[in-house]
Structure 1
Amino acid sequence: MVWVRYRSVKRLSKHLNTIRICIGVILLIACIAIPLSTPVQKYLTIPNELVTFQNEEAVDVPMLGKNVEVASSDESVLAIDSSEFYAKEPGKSELVYEVSGIPIKKVDLSVLDDIRVVPGGQSIGVQLHTLGVLVVGHHLVNGMDGGKSPGEVANINVGDVILKINGKPIKSMNEIKSYVDQAGKVNRDLNVTIKRGKEEIQTTLHPELDKQNNQYKIGLYIRDTAAGIGTMTFYEPKSKKYGALGHVISDMDTKKPIEIYNGTIVRSSVTAIEKGNNGTPGEKQASFSIENNQLGTITKNSPFGIFGELHHAIENEKYKEPMPIALSHEVKEGPAKILTVIENEKVEAFDVEIVSSVAQKFPATKGMVIKVTDPELLERTGGIVQGMSGSPIIQNGKVIGAVTHVFVNDPTSGYGVHIEWMLQDAGINIYQNSKKAS
């Protein structure tokens, strides 16, 4: 009797284990299958927050099906149907996904004032005046004590910026020469303030008389200006604030970003193009005069380009009217256009493809990967070339960013920066009028 009962219990236990295994397999399959199902996939694409602009265009949202409705917590936002809405005025509210009146998802919505800019594409000449005087190298001075660099002895490094001499601000190389001559004649040291990174350092510099040319020298190669060419990205017609290049200007010798005192942009004419090949980036060659055809000032040199104010509006034959902008999450993979100059001063539109775009919540320079698809541009330039940096990117009637860098091993492709970060560094705050819902 005991043995029979034991066998029954054993069979029951084995049966229960089989049921548990079956249930576990079913749950595992469900855990894998449910996220892969179309409704769940669509649900997961709904963001927790959404930022857009108040304009006359409807904004698309992920659609979950005919039984799911989208409503708004604010009368200023009109839900047209379950796939799009229209923002009538700036502010903050919520979008609510509902099934039979029961909310299944809430999305924080920020509606910003409509921002419109005039796209550029023009070739520009750039001249920067450095903050202080930049040290770009050392050289020996053939003095009484033998060859040495007084600047190196004073612990002044390549990349340092000379800000002051004897407590007086330095703005040009000529000012340094005057101080060196005066100190050398009376055999005095110079008290020098240099900037190294974010740190200011005090040092003592003793000019040496070079026996070869009988001049007092400090053994430093220095520079107070930098020049080059690039492309205008945009300007805001009310404030005349502009952005160009899409990347920082660095010194050609030190490879460090140039801290500027001021600068100027001028009209530029493209005279020739050196076509790019794998491993060798191409280059625009252009002519410009700093004295003539000045367009505006440069007040900032940042990782997102150069910025300042125009003296007057500039013309673009392709897109004359201000255009809306797209935030990074609104940029789509697919066709787009860039505006740039490949001959003289004529701005032309060329086809490109947005290969990838990152929805960025914080400023970052490499937001997009783009590929040139236009046969004419490929034939003329090989793709993206130096001097094309700053060329505005247009998609679906909106300015979405600018060309920044070419891929050295594939000149048909390169990086782009999103327009919102360039606007931010230009001093155009697209978020300033966003208000909280009552």
Structure 2
Amino acid sequence: MKVLTYELLRKIIGGILLVSLIAIGFANPIQEYIHIPKDITVFEGQQYDFSKAAPVSATISSEQSTVAFNDNGNGVKLTGTRPGKEEMMLEIAGFPIKKVDVNVLKDFKIIPGGQSIGVKLNTVGVLVVGHHQVNTSSGKASPGETAGIQVGDIITSINGEKIEKMADVAPFVQDAGESGKSLNITLKREEGEVKTELTPLKEDGGNMYKLGLYIRDSAAGIGTMTFYHPESKKYGALGHVISDMDTKKPIVVEDGQILRSTVTSIEKGSNGNPGEKLARFSSDKKVIGNITRNSPFGIFGKLNKDITNGVVDEALPIALSHQVKEGPAQILTVVDNDEVKKFDIEIVSTIPQKFPATKGMVIKVTDSELLEKTGGIVQGMSGSPIIQDGRVIGAVTHVFVNDPTSGYGVHIEWMLNEAGIDIYEKPQEKAS
């Protein structure tokens, strides 16, 4: 065993004391920087600030930085200058304590909505919304139920032929009944495709044959436009999925249309009883866009032309989920006729989400005019864009049943993703 010399032991003890003194002196700055994220994302022209204690210094690794960088001793200011990635190192007395990845995204803006819209959805195939008993000469029975067809199933084909609307079904049923043959039916179900056979029954006292099923091929309702992208004309609205009123299951969309709508009256909300916007399709019934997707984050498609709200008609930047903060914000929505107005709300809480989720914010209506008119958040208000500090941050989605002044909001980046808009688009390499 080697014996430590006096000189070596003195150096070790001295080093330990020095490190201890440094740790004690810089404990607060280190604790402060634990809360700075490991990743910072900003858009071109967007600024990100954070304060720091004087002993801490910040440096950027690249000579041709994607950010304008300023360390004034008490704080750091980052401004995105061009798309790309960067590394920022935080140090104390030359010792690195944290590496922060800075990602600058291409400048991106959208036009906020707020308009009341009418929605028409056409399903993929025909939707089974219930069973009924066929009254035959030998008793009552439901051929559909006997064949194992469930509420929520979608009939996509009969005898190998595609079914698109209810009118397509009747000829197959009548022909099979008169010939005494069974129908080969293909169903779309949540767990996958299902095939079954069904024998129609003749209704007593008539010549009609029945399936014993209630079916539907379309749905309609109202909601609020959230945004549209001026370059691509892609839009997002509602902020939540449209479900069938009978089956309570999401409607699988074949196609659809959105139209302008006019709010005719408001059923004011109260505790335990959410209110509702009552509206009708505008008299011109002019289609302003299509519907290609019905997802947990809303409905999406393309507009036929630009639309305006008369309040904020210029394109605004967006905020990512980690950039949203608690505090004042506004929503754009309609409570009278087709007039879009801005109302005050409060962001009560917000979650910096890394993965898509529908409930990213808790919001509370604080605007006295809106509270007097609606009692808070009402059905039909879903999709109303939320704006904070001049940036679109999300949309209203759900109301709290026991507190209609409050509800949930979804972050705008997830709606943009569902609309097929890639805000994380990588910058193109220049040809050499």
Q: Matched residues in 1 for 2:357 and 2:66: separation?
A: 32
| In the alignment, structure 1 residue 114 sits paired with structure 2 residue 107 | yes
| In the alignment, structure 1 residue 274 sits paired with structure 2 residue 264 | no
Q: Matched residues in 2 for 1:127 and 1:80: separation?
A: 52
Long gaps (5+) in structure 2: 1-19
Q: Matched residues in 2 for 1:145 and 1:262: separation?
A: 42
Question: Alignment partner for residue 389 of structure 2, among 393, 396, 412?
Answer: 396
Q: What corresponds to 1:128 in structure 2?
A: 121
Q: What corresponds to 1:261 in structure 2?
A: 254
Long gaps (5+) in structure 1: 1-29
Question: Alignment partner for residue 354 of structure 2, among 361, 370, 381?
Answer: 361
User: What are the superposed Cα offsets for residues 14-71 of structure 1, whole Å, 9 maximum, x if unpaired?
Assistant: xxxxxxxxxxxxxxxx9xxx8xx7534421111111222112x32123x221232322
Mapping of residues 33-432 of structure 1, within 5 Å = 38-55=28-45, 57-61=46-50, 63-74=51-62, 75-81=65-71, 82-288=75-281, 292-432=285-425
Q: Matched residues in 2 for 1:101 and 1:84: separation?
A: 21
For the aligned residues, what is the CA RMSD? 1.9
Given the superposition, is the C-alpha separation of residues 167 and 290 from structure 1 closer, same or farther in structure 2, using an over 3 Å criterion? farther
User: What are the superposed Cα offsets for residues 398-418 of structure 1, whole Å, 9 maximum, x if unpaired?
Assistant: 000000000000000000000
Q: Matched residues in 2 for 1:60 and 1:231: separation?
A: 34
Q: Matched residues in 1 for 2:54 and 2:428: separation?
A: 32
Q: What corresponds to 1:26 in structure 2?
A: none
Deviation, 1:114, is 1.3
For the residue of structure 1 that corresponds to 2:410, the secondary structure is strand
Deviation, 1:435, is 7.9
Q: Matched residues in 2 for 1:305 and 1:276: separation?
A: 23
Is the 1:90–1:435 Cα contact (8 Å) retained in structure 2? no
Deviation, 1:125, is 0.2
Mapping of residues 20-39 of structure 1, within 5 Å = 38-39=28-29
AA of the residue aligned to 2:357 = A
AA of the residue aligned to 2:182 = D
Tell me the matched-pair count: 402
| Structure 1 ranges of 4+ moved more than 4 A | none
Deviation, 1:76, is 2.1
Given the superposition, is the C-alpha separation of residues 290 and 209 from structure 1 closer, same or farther in structure 2, using an over 3 Å criterion? farther
TM-score normalised to structure 1 length:
0.89
Given the superposition, is the C-alpha separation of residues 258 and 414 from structure 1 closer, same or farther in structure 2, using an over 3 Å criterion? same
Is the 2:359–2:408 Cα contact (8 Å) retained in structure 1? yes
Deviation, 1:374, is 0.2
Q: Matched residues in 1 for 2:427 and 2:327: separation?
A: 30
For the residue of structure 2 that corresponds to 1:268, the secondary structure is strand
Given the superposition, is the C-alpha separation of residues 377 and 180 from structure 1 closer, same or farther in structure 2, using an over 3 Å criterion? same
Deviation, 1:434, is 5.5
AA of the residue aligned to 1:69 = S
Given the superposition, is the C-alpha separation of residues 282 and 212 from structure 1 closer, same or farther in structure 2, using an over 3 Å criterion? farther
Q: Matched residues in 2 for 1:214 and 1:129: separation?
A: 30
Is the 1:129–1:226 Cα contact (8 Å) retained in structure 2? yes
Deviation, 1:86, is 1.1
For the residue of structure 2 that corresponds to 1:386, the secondary structure is coil
Given the superposition, is the C-alpha separation of residues 422 and 383 from structure 1 closer, same or farther in structure 2, using an over 3 Å criterion? same
For the residue of structure 2 that corresponds to 1:179, the secondary structure is helix
Is the 1:325–1:399 Cα contact (8 Å) retained in structure 2? yes
Is the 1:70–1:79 Cα contact (8 Å) retained in structure 2? no
TM-score normalised to structure 2 length:
0.90
Deviation, 1:291, is 7.3
For the residue of structure 1 that corresponds to 2:336, the secondary structure is coil
User: What are the superposed Cα offsets for residues 346-372 of structure 1, whole Å, 9 maximum, x if unpaired?
Assistant: 000000000000000000000000000
AA of the residue aligned to 1:185 = E
Is the 1:92–1:434 Cα contact (8 Å) retained in structure 2? no
AA of the residue aligned to 1:94 = E
Deviation, 1:290, is 9.1
Bigger Cα displacement from structure 2, 196-205 vs 290-299: 290-299
For the residue of structure 2 that corresponds to 1:342, the secondary structure is strand
